[in-house]
Structure 1
Amino acid sequence: MNPPAFYCAAAVILLFSLAVIGRPEQAGAWLLQAQTWAANTVGWYYLLAMSLYLVFVVVTALSGYGKIKLGADHDQPEFSYLSWAGMLFAAGISITLFFFCVSEPLTHFAQPPAGEGGNPAAARQAMQILFLHWGLHGWGVFALVAMALAYFAYRHNLPLALRSALYPLIGKRINGPIGHAVDAFGIIATIFGLGADLGFGVLHLNAGLDYLFGISHSHWVQLILIVLMMGAAIAVAVSGVDKGVRIMSDINMVLAVALLLFVLFAGPTQHLLNTLIQNIGDYLSALPGKSFDLYAYDEPSDWLGGWTVFYWAWWIAWAPFVGLFIARISRGRTIREFVFGVLFIPLGFTLAWLSIFGNSALELVLGQGMTGLAQTALTDPAMAFYQVLETYPASRAVISVAVLVSFVFFVTSADSGTVVLSTLSSKGGEANEDGPKWLRVFWGAAVALVTGGLLFAGSMDALKSAVVLTSLPFSVVVLLMMWGLHKALHLESQRQRARLHSLAPVATNGKARHGGWRQRLSQAVYFPSRDEVYRFMDSTVRPAMEEMVEVSREKGLVVETQFDATNANLQLIIGHGEEHPFIYQVIMQGYFTPSFARAGIGGLHLKNRRYYRAEVHLTEGSQDYDLVGYNREQILNDMLDQYERHLQFLHLVR
């Protein structure tokens, strides 16, 4: 556990929850006032920040930085492109898609931000606004946070934590109060983002149960639903039944796609396809203007704060959660491939879902005169979705499937959220490590407490207000992450230029680098054991580093060495005052022996035998070459080669 980040975030969450539960009416009124203040005061900031996030990731992907890998240059993607696309596709689906896909366009249709409602022009504008809220901006902030997490974790060997993205700005102080504050802001934003998502999910499920079984809408029914489903999510998170959850998720995806296709082909198919294409065109053509539309010349209203500002705050709140998930599955991808995959793969399904369900609802109101449906979206938004499905064949069975799918989405989102929160409140280790199980239980209970408190304090309005307020500090953190990532990418580009610097050839007694050709061939097919590499590092690499230290200090350089015998990690650091230090590491890495060599290993045919390499790592990560077989002079020459390149790099960035 990371005590400062954990205790700070936990204290804020518990104090807020107790205040809301103790005085729900006063808390609800205060939250609404605070949201109005935020919309009137910092609404412009939210719109500007979200646009900056999107522009930054797109420009970065299209620039020369797009070729950089999220990992070492020799890393290959862990997942095939199809599997990776499938996981991104799954990341784009949430229970809130069910809640808003019908209620939001009908609300904008009846009460547009500008102009008269209830006509075809208002319907077209409603879909344009819906696409804006669920479109590229949201996935832009996800891509930014995920790219920063993956880049610093996989390429610079920093912890998979939010604070790591600030390393280029504050250096080792990321492990101090500033870093703890960044992690705490991320936890708080994630808690309220999840709380809002699950709150809307509970309202949606309560409406479905009301339709099917007559279970009335009430805070106590919703509280029971929260306890039951969060209990199931915590049990899954603690037990780690990955296979079962994965199978449920796969089945759920199939059912969701089947539901979408059913609505498409059982409804006015031609009209829905026409409107889908037109909605995409309207969205893309209006994207620049709508990204900055504050309705400053219209009559003052609460619309912007209740919708666009809320959505931007909600996407920001979800960024640590979804960003961490995307980072974990994206090692080895280039930045360009990563950004455009994250932006467009989930977006395709999301916009198709919103268009088909949204236009089905609008067609019922405009084409069939079901004006009561629009009124339902205003007074009971969760029920509007089921009233649309009611007009289709076998409606009761279809609605039952929708409730089932919503329930599984709820559990899997809550399960993933508690695991990610436990990771965010831990110190950060290997990229595939999760936080301890007791933290998952704690954060699961905290999310349930926040969700229940907000529903008691004012339902939808309280959920929106809390998200807008708690996302504000983390939105600044994301801007700093953007700055830190840009700085790191710029420095890396200069390092790559420095590598092209011509070096004078170093004589090695007239022989080739590895001696004669026979020795080179023997070395090429040599797969040493761990003990052999350990002895080589201790008897050859370490003395070479010590000799380099001795001579460097004679030249007046500030040199530091770190020898970690337990993990076979040797490190040489040459400081340059306020400029970037030179770091040369030799780390022992294990690999599976290639199949062609296994049969010859003592005749034992050991299929899982591993061999080891003494790999060179610089500031930007592994250089993917092995020192085993080098003599002391050759290792010293290699260190000097890399040091001269570093000096050239410092010359370029001064």
Structure 2
Amino acid sequence: MTDTNKIPDPDPRVMDFDTDYELGQDNIRPLGLDIHNPVFVISAGVIVLFVVVALLNQEASAAFFGWLRPFLTSTFDWYLMWSVNLLLLFCVFIAVTPLGKVRIGGRDARPDYSLPGWIAMLFSAGMGIGLLFFSVLEPMYYTLPELNAWPLGLDPAVAGNETMGIVGTIFHWGLNAWAVYVVVGLALAIFYFNLGLPMTLRSAFYPVLGERVWGWPGHVIDTLAVFATLFGLTTTLGLGAQQVAAGLNDVFGVPVSDTLIVGLIVGITAIALGSVLLGMDAGVKRLSEINMALAAVLFVFVLLVGPTLFLLTNFGAVLRDYLIQLAPLSSPIGRADDGYMHGWTTFYWAWWIAWSPFVGMFIARISKGRTVREFVLYVLVVPSFVCALWMSVFGGLALHQMAGGYDGVAEVVAAYKPELTLFRMLDQLPLYSITAPVSLVLIVVFFVTSSDSGSLVIDTITAGGKMDAPVAQRVFWCTFEGLVAIALLLGGGLNALQGAAVSMGIPFTIVVLAMAWCLFLALRSERHK
């Protein structure tokens, strides 16, 4: 580039979605589909093959994934942790510098969605089922001494360390996690709305690859994004199915079996297909708002019927200790807490990175009209604060119950039945016959919004960035999200789900780091216009 402050205009071919040469490649249109060649063919073929092989070799799959996850998280711990730290620092940098004044879509662009609606949609897509699955599990797991997972090796039973179980949880769901989404989402938004490039991961690399981004380098980037999104998403779907099955057993006595879990995935995927047919505004947006309403009702109920004053006071202490411990928890140097760092932190960072194409593209699509500073502030800080409050109340209540002599949650955590933790905590509160079914509905709705928006994102990538690709393609990806979740659950359970997410997150970390540099170049160019 001759002018380091200006990104050259892309080849005009990429601007005309009506030609047969979108992204410089012929598109294949069998059965009326609009398939970007060869990203769709490669990714769809590999996914179909994976499902078949995993289902036909369930014992071998279980053994492989049981080995894969601990190997990857212990081998690439430093790489994952320093990468996420760099992404968080980069987010702070672009927010506080003049680059933060750049507006997504140009100077005169205005938001397409209201602020509450926007926050509801990004929050539902970004966290979803995980809030209900891990909010009680993690604080208890990090507190029980027999599980050897104290954050930083600090015993929560020792005076001054009482909040460490919750702090260790919030660390995984706070600023570091959302920084990954900020980078990917903002890069996609700027290159799409400001520079007019297709809404696909390869577009973010135009400043360094130029026209080569429409060739095989771009194909590789988009194919990696499809795999990362699919396996990151199916991990969440599998966890949700396990938790719904456990809740049905706990509330209604339905026996838990592989058949039940597979049936749940099939049924909920069918609901997600209905949401796909309704489209973004009628489907995902409406379900996201329902999500927020149900989650708010459940949260307020738990807060009010529990030890309200204790939970609110404890939340203040948790936030203070989180800020104090943020740097030590972020560093892989001199750690004596392998159970926490390798068993949880490095898995989470790989999972968030695997999720980043999905969440990033979804947030990018709904963020036109926001300034970079506004984008970073709301996408980084607001969800982190809400997650911290949620985890502090739900996890804090479970720990308070244990201190009062109730061991129900501790028993299921120690027995490695994580899907039951939320229900064991709610069981000690009034109206369990109401709150448990509401929780089940909330999990299902989170499941549906994740599956729907995830299929939309994968469809957009494999269609070369088209925003209006045929619905049949989204139906295909929505269906195979469910099939991959089934294959992983039957071929190794939770270890398989987590191993698949980590295996995709590690190579995709390189892509995300490179996107941060390309985003900086694009923002500098926009700032100088």
Whether the TM-score (by the shorter chain) exceeds 0.5 is yes
- CA apart distance, 1:350: 1.6
Question: Could you tell me whether the CA contact under 8 Å between 1:230 and 1:445 is conserved in 2?
Answer: yes
- CA apart distance, 1:124: 2.0
Aligned mate of 1:410, from 447, 453, 463: 447
CA separation of 1:316/1:185 partners in 2, compared to 1, >3 Å: closer, same or farther? same
Aligned mate of 1:454, from 475, 488, 495: 488
Question: Could you tell me whether the CA contact under 8 Å between 2:408 and 2:424 is conserved in 1?
Answer: no
Hey, what does 1:20 align to over in structure 2?
54
- CA apart distance, 1:117: 5.6
Looking at structure 2, the residues matched to 216 and 46 of structure 1 have their Cα atoms a distance apart, in angstroms, of 39
| 89-98 or 444-453, larger mean C-alpha shift | 89-98
Question: Could you tell me whether the CA contact under 8 Å between 1:310 and 1:464 is conserved in 2?
Answer: yes
Aligned mate of 2:411, from 372, 375, 393: 375
| 343-352 or 446-455, larger mean C-alpha shift | 343-352
- CA apart distance, 1:88: 3.5
SS at match of 2:106: coil
- CA apart distance, 1:62: 0.8
SS at match of 1:369: coil
CA separation of 1:74/1:451 partners in 2, compared to 1, >3 Å: closer, same or farther? same
Looking at structure 2, the residues matched to 326 and 466 of structure 1 have their Cα atoms a distance apart, in angstroms, of 24
Question: Could you tell me whether the CA contact under 8 Å between 1:89 and 1:345 is conserved in 2?
Answer: no
Supply the AA of the counterpart residue of 1:204: Q
Supply the AA of the counterpart residue of 1:377: V
Deviation string 1:332-371 (CA, Å, 9 cap, x unpaired) is 22211111111122222221111100000011112x1223
Hey, what does 1:550 align to over in structure 2?
none
Question: Could you tell me whether the CA contact under 8 Å between 1:272 and 1:356 is conserved in 2?
Answer: yes
Hey, what does 1:196 align to over in structure 2?
235
Aligned mate of 2:129, from 95, 99, 105: 95
SS at match of 2:136: helix
Question: Could you tell me whether the CA contact under 8 Å between 2:36 and 2:462 is conserved in 1?
Answer: yes
Looking at structure 2, the residues matched to 438 and 268 of structure 1 have their Cα atoms a distance apart, in angstroms, of 50
Question: Could you tell me whether the CA contact under 8 Å between 1:419 and 1:434 is conserved in 2?
Answer: no
Hey, what does 1:72 align to over in structure 2?
106
- CA apart distance, 1:74: 2.4
Query: Which 5+ residue runs of structure 2 have no aligned equivalent?
Result: 1-34
Asked if 1:182 is matched to 2:182, the reply is no
Aligned mate of 1:345, from 375, 382, 400: 382
Hey, what does 2:10 align to over in structure 1?
none
Looking at structure 2, the residues matched to 97 and 63 of structure 1 have their Cα atoms a distance apart, in angstroms, of 33
- CA apart distance, 1:330: 1.4
Hey, what does 1:298 align to over in structure 2?
336
Hey, what does 1:531 align to over in structure 2?
none
Looking at structure 2, the residues matched to 409 and 314 of structure 1 have their Cα atoms a distance apart, in angstroms, of 17
Mapping of residues 5-404 of structure 1, within 5 Å:
5-110=39-144, 111=147, 112-113=149-150, 115=153, 119=157, 123-240=162-279, 242-243=281-282, 246-293=285-332, 296-298=334-336, 301=338, 303-366=340-403, 368-378=404-414, 379-404=416-441
Query: Which 5+ residue runs of structure 1 have no aligned equivalent?
Result: 497-654
SS at match of 2:491: helix
Mapping of residues 404-443 of structure 1, within 5 Å:
404-429=441-466, 433-443=467-477
Asked if 1:483 is matched to 2:521, the reply is no
Supply the AA of the counterpart residue of 2:336: D
Mapping of residues 599-618 of structure 1, within 5 Å:
none
Question: Could you tell me whether the CA contact under 8 Å between 1:234 and 1:444 is conserved in 2?
Answer: yes
Deviation string 1:182-205 (CA, Å, 9 cap, x unpaired) is 111111000011100001100110
- CA apart distance, 1:374: 0.9
CA separation of 1:321/1:145 partners in 2, compared to 1, >3 Å: closer, same or farther? same
Question: Could you tell me whether the CA contact under 8 Å between 2:426 and 2:435 is conserved in 1?
Answer: yes
Deviation string 1:396-454 (CA, Å, 9 cap, x unpaired) is 1111111112112211221111122111111124xxx2332121121112211211111
Looking at structure 1, the residues matched to 439 and 116 of structure 2 have their Cα atoms a distance apart, in angstroms, of 27
Supply the AA of the counterpart residue of 1:453: A
Deviation string 1:371-405 (CA, Å, 9 cap, x unpaired) is 34212023211111101101111111111111112
Supply the AA of the counterpart residue of 2:344: W
Deviation string 1:513-553 (CA, Å, 9 cap, x unpaired) is xxxxxxxxxxxxxxxxxxxxxxxxxxxxxxxxxxxxxxxxx
Deviation string 1:64-120 (CA, Å, 9 cap, x unpaired) is 211112122222333344443443344455112111111111111112245476736
Supply the AA of the counterpart residue of 1:386: F
Larger RCO (alpha carbons 8 Å, 6+ apart): 2
Note the aligned Cα RMSD (angstroms).
2.0
Looking at structure 2, the residues matched to 440 and 76 of structure 1 have their Cα atoms a distance apart, in angstroms, of 28
- CA apart distance, 1:282: 0.8
Hey, what does 1:627 align to over in structure 2?
none
CA separation of 1:22/1:313 partners in 2, compared to 1, >3 Å: closer, same or farther? same
| 45-54 or 20-29, larger mean C-alpha shift | 20-29
SS at match of 1:356: helix
Greater C-alpha Rg: 1
SS at match of 2:469: coil
Supply the AA of the counterpart residue of 1:212: V
Question: Could you tell me whether the CA contact under 8 Å between 1:89 and 1:349 is conserved in 2?
Answer: no
SS at match of 2:142: helix
Query: Identity over the aligned pairs, expressed in percent?
Result: 38
CA separation of 1:235/1:247 partners in 2, compared to 1, >3 Å: closer, same or farther? closer
- CA apart distance, 1:323: 1.0
SS at match of 1:234: helix
- CA apart distance, 1:460: 1.4
CA separation of 1:216/1:471 partners in 2, compared to 1, >3 Å: closer, same or farther? same
Looking at structure 2, the residues matched to 100 and 178 of structure 1 have their Cα atoms a distance apart, in angstroms, of 37
Q: Which has the larger share of helix?
A: 2
Supply the AA of the counterpart residue of 1:376: V
Supply the AA of the counterpart residue of 1:396: S
Question: Could you tell me whether the CA contact under 8 Å between 1:317 and 1:471 is conserved in 2?
Answer: yes
Supply the AA of the counterpart residue of 2:163: R
Supply the AA of the counterpart residue of 2:410: A
Looking at structure 2, the residues matched to 117 and 253 of structure 1 have their Cα atoms a distance apart, in angstroms, of 35
Question: Could you tell me whether the CA contact under 8 Å between 1:238 and 1:440 is conserved in 2?
Answer: no
Supply the AA of the counterpart residue of 1:84: W
Question: Could you tell me whether the CA contact under 8 Å between 1:91 and 1:346 is conserved in 2?
Answer: no
Mapping of residues 585-604 of structure 1, within 5 Å:
none
CA separation of 1:384/1:120 partners in 2, compared to 1, >3 Å: closer, same or farther? farther
- CA apart distance, 1:60: 1.0
Question: Could you tell me whether the CA contact under 8 Å between 2:120 and 2:288 is conserved in 1?
Answer: no
- CA apart distance, 1:265: 0.8
Q: Which has the larger share of strand?
A: 1
Equivalenced residue count is 489
Looking at structure 2, the residues matched to 323 and 261 of structure 1 have their Cα atoms a distance apart, in angstroms, of 29
